[in-house]
């Protein structure tokens, strides 16, 4: 199957099979994603692979805590949109999936003299690298869920990341559960999203 066909079949699973797989697949995928185009070649990203069950559990506990608060604040329309996708405060996928990849963006960097230096377009750069990583993992036959807890600063504390890094998102990676019923969704027709001039 071609990469295009695989990407057209890609879905977000919220339940994962318990079996693990060789972590080297993730290392190799990240090694390729680092070639993403980025502002001034600053490569403003750090990819943290989480396999430790205790760390995954702590991330889940903190995520569910903030999600409970988050759901108290969102609009009825937003809640309705999420319900159709089976999204709620239960984040058990965070410790049931074999791996998490927590991606951090750099808001500044340090030079060889430990002086702060600027980075350019970090959100765009990290977004492109993340998209490439998702495509690579999909091509490898893995299922991915993007998860963006808000606020997400607890990830910096749990993983003890330096002050120049900010959490960007979490990729939950594994094989989607065979028993998970995917939400029924449709994608917009190509003619609605594509204009040729």
Q: What is the pLDDT along the chain (197 residues), one digit of tens a residue?
A: 999 999 999 999 999 998 999 999 999 999 999 999 999 999 999 999 999 999 999 999 999 999 999 888 889 898 888 888 888 899 999 999 999 999 999 999 999 999 999 999 999 999 999 999 999 999 999 999 999 999 999 999 999 999 999 999 999 999 999 999 998 999 999 999 999 99
Residue range 3-193 forms a domain whose CATH class is alpha beta
Query: Tokens standing for 123?
Result: 């959100």
Query: CA distances (Å), 92 to each of 15, 21, 101, in order?
Result: 8, 19, 16
Query: CA distances (Å), 170 to each of 7, 16, 59, 103, 118, in order?
Result: 19, 15, 10, 6, 25
Q: Domain ranges for the chain, please list them.
A: 3-193
Task: Read off the pTM.
Answer: 0.95
């Amino acid at each position: 199957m071609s990469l295009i066909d695989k990407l057209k079949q890609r879905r977000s699973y919220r339940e994962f099979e318990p079996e693990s797989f060789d972590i080297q697949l993730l290392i190799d995928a990240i090694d390729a994603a680092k070639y993403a185009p980025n502002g001034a070649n600053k490569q403003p990203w750090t990819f943290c692979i989480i396999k430790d069950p205790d760390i995954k559990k702590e991330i889940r506990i903190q995520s569910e805590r903030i999600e409970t608060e988050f759901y108290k604040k969102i609009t009825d329309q937003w809640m309705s949109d999420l319900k159709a996708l089976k999204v709620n405060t239960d984040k058990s996928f965070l410790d049931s999936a074999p791996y998490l990849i927590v991606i951090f963006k750099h808001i500044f960097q340090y030079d060889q003299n430990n002086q702060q230096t600027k980075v350019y377009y970090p959100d765009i750069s990290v977004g492109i690298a993340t998209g490439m990583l998702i495509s690579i993992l999909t091509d490898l036959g893995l299922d991915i869920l993007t998860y963006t807890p808000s606020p997400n600063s607890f990830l910096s504390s749990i993983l003890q990341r330096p002050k120049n890094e900010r959490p960007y998102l979490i990729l939950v990676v594994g094989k989607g559960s065979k028993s998970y019923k995917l939400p029924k969704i449709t994608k917009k027709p190509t003619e609605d999203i594509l204009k040729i001039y």
